[in-house]
């Protein structure tokens, strides 16, 4: 057992060195489950998310107008209404972002999460519903295009 002590000390020193070399720059007050997002990426995602949620609000207003007029043709079943109400919530989506064209454009992709909490989760995950691809100018943060893909 006394021969194992040097080995234990070397292992502990190795672990401490490894941790010191590869530790994350996380402030002590930030919890481990937090995700780092650069300000520029956050702004691009914010522009796209705000636009998409505004579009969903317009669609909701149109649906409600049809329903109020009794002119929905029976399309808006209770299940469909529940799904639409779910997809009107930002938490039903996940967002991916990357820069392209030598950093001049952000591409922001908004997808319904797997199930989005709106439908049962599937394994492997599938993305049902529309996905939206935004092109955003990296210098002005103006939306250059929005494509809704099925």
* pLDDT, mean over the chain: 81
> ω before 124 within 30° of 0 (cis)?
yes
- Window from 37-41, 68-72, 99-103 with minimum mean pLDDT: 68-72
User: Tell me: the pLDDT tens digits for 46-62?
Assistant: 999 999 999 999 988 98
- Look at 131 and 42; give whichever has higher pLDDT: 42
Indicate the pTM of the whole model: 0.72
* Helix, strand and coil in the chain, % to nearest 5: 40, 20, 40
How confident is the model at residue 124, as a pLDDT?
Answer: 47
Pair 47, 110: CB distance under 8 Å: no
Checking phi first, is residue 143 left (phi over 0); if not, alpha (psi -120 to 50) or beta? beta
- Window from 24-33, 38-47, 113-122, 134-143 with minimum mean pLDDT: 113-122
């Amino acid at each position: 057992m006394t021969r194992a002590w040097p080995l234990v000390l070397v292992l502990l020193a190795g672990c401490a060195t490894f941790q010191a070399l590869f530790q994350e720059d996380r402030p002590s007050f930030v919890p481990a489950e937090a995700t780092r997002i650069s300000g520029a990426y956050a702004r691009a995602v914010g522009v796209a998310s705000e636009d998409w949620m505004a579009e969903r609000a317009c669609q909701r207003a149109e649906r409600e107008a049809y329903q109020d007029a009794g002119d929905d043709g029976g399309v808006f079943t209770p299940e469909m209404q529940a799904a639409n109400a779910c997809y009107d919530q930002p938490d039903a989506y996940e967002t991916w972002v990357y820069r392209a064209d030598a950093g001049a454009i952000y591409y922001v992709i908004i997808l319904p999460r797997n199930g989005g909490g709106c439908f049962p989760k599937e394994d492997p995950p599938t993305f049902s519903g529309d996905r939206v691809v935004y092109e955003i100018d990296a210098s002005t943060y103006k939306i250059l295009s929005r494509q809704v893909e099925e």
